[in-house]
Amino acid sequence: MKRKISILPLAVFAALLFALNFYALSGVKVILDYSLTGVIFWSFLSVILLALVYSIFKMRDNGMDLLFKISTHAFLVFLASELVFIVFLLAGDIFSLVSGHRSFYWIEFSAALFLLTVIVFIYGMVRGKYAYRVIKHVLYFDDLPSNFDGFTITQISDVHAGSFNNPKAVQKGIDLIKQQKSDLFVFTGDLVNNKAEEIKPWIDVFKQVKAPYGQFSILGNHDYGDYVKWPTETEKSQNLDQLKAYHAELGYRLLLDEHVEIHKDGQKIILAGVENWGVGFGERGDLKKSLANTNADDFKVLLSHDPTHWQAEVTKFASKIHLTLSGHTHGMQFGLEAFGIKWSPVKYRYAHWAGITSENGRFLNINRGFGFLGFSGRVGIWPEITVIELKRTAGIS
């Protein structure tokens, strides 16, 4: 069944886009006062938009092909840079209401910021998407089994292997994971963009990751092949089966609405994993099933790809789940985390979109992702390797 497309939002977006570009062009003409300036400007924009619209409509058949990648990236970089230009142009125009004329030098400054933004995005596409960061958290629990005091977990998420194009850079990320020497390694979903075959060239790279207490994984929304057209449902099902086999080949124990017991010196914790459950992204996972035959007082760690699952079910679950590890948001691969500022456009979709949060003694960590999708880059939100150390609250015997 084809999804109906609402015309009104598209019309509003088109009108807004036209208005923004009409205003931007008024500033461009101040510093580039040539007869063909307007023609070149609108022609350039039209080519980008036509290519973008065409590639989006053909995505179900062609996937994220070269035209899709070029058109989406050209549009994104141009729009983001143009918005910076417009914000400063508008500030100058407001001031000009007082001074009585537009400042040529201020418009030049705004244009320079436009170019700087383009450069920043190019950096994100060339280097930023592989600029791996290790982020460490120490979490305290009253009821952590004493033998697990200081137990470490390395988490990565959202590999999206089909997007990688630089083996040497990816290997640097793997080397960083290995250097952490954590007790346990977990992967929280989206191994591929759409098809199992995407991970095949990278199996020897990712299988290097080993941990004393094992390597565990779950599926994310992209792993089910829902975003491309399959000739038959059988082929789609076979693709998922092949992906599950690749998890095993990587040395990852794939948790599908189930749990395992992690034992250490006569004590244990529960590690559970659910299939993807996310608001707007399919509610496949069965939390109750994943924790069947566990006890209320067991210390539990849950792998669940989509963080909306934590708010919708995990925080309300009868048996306490101490720590949930998620991914999915990517931090939108764009934002600012510096100078005490933590901002990304993804905050308007997810109230908590990266890092640690807690509610009623139940913790959630959202990994910013190891790979990238859609936008082949990262600006300000760098690829993440999370290391979490579990600590027993002092004074509890």
On whether the CB atoms of residues 122 and 153 are closer than 8 A, the answer is no
The predicted pLDDT at position 5 comes to 55
Q: Where are the domains of the chain?
A: 7-126, 131-392
Please report the DSSP string for 92-110 in residue order. Answer: HHHHHHHHSS--HHHHHHH
State how far Cα 336 lies from the chain centre.
Answer: 15
Query: In the predicted model, what is the mean pLDDT of residues 180-194?
Result: 97
The predicted pLDDT at position 67 comes to 85
Percent of the chain whose predicted confidence (pLDDT) is above 70: 97
Task: Determine the Cα–Cα distance for residues 364 and 351; give it in Å rounded to an integer.
Answer: 13
Rg (CA), the chain: 24
Give this prediction's pTM.
0.89
Least confident segment among 93-102, 286-295, 360-369: 93-102
Please report the DSSP string for 15-45 in residue order. Answer: HHHHHHHHHHHHHHHHHS--TTHHHHHHHHH
Task: Determine the Cα–Cα distance for residues 305 and 282; give it in Å rounded to an integer.
Answer: 11
Percent of the chain whose predicted confidence (pLDDT) is above 90: 85
- pLDDT-derived band of residue 3, with 50, 70 and 90 as boundaries? very low
CB atoms within 10 A of CB 2: 5
Query: In the predicted model, what is the mean pLDDT of residues 118-139?
Result: 97
- pLDDT-derived band of residue 139, with 50, 70 and 90 as boundaries? very high
**Topology at the third CATH level for domain 131-392:** Purple Acid Phosphatase; chain A, domain 2 (3.60.21)
Contacts of 379 (CB under 8 A, 6+ apart): 120, 121, 123, 124, 128, 333, 334, 335
Asked if residue 196 has pLDDT above 90, the reply is: yes
What is the per-residue pLDDT across 229-247, written as a single tens digit (0 to 9) for each?
899 999 999 999 999 999 9
Helix (H, G, I), strand (E, B) or coil at 300: strand
Task: Determine the Cα–Cα distance for residues 5 and 228; give it in Å rounded to an integer.
Answer: 18
What is the per-residue pLDDT across 336-372, written as a single tens digit (0 to 9) for each?
999 999 999 999 999 899 999 999 899 999 999 999 9
The enclosing H or E element of 172 equals helix 167-180
What is the per-residue pLDDT across 366-376, written as a single tens digit (0 to 9) for each?
999 999 998 99
Helix (H, G, I), strand (E, B) or coil at 7: helix
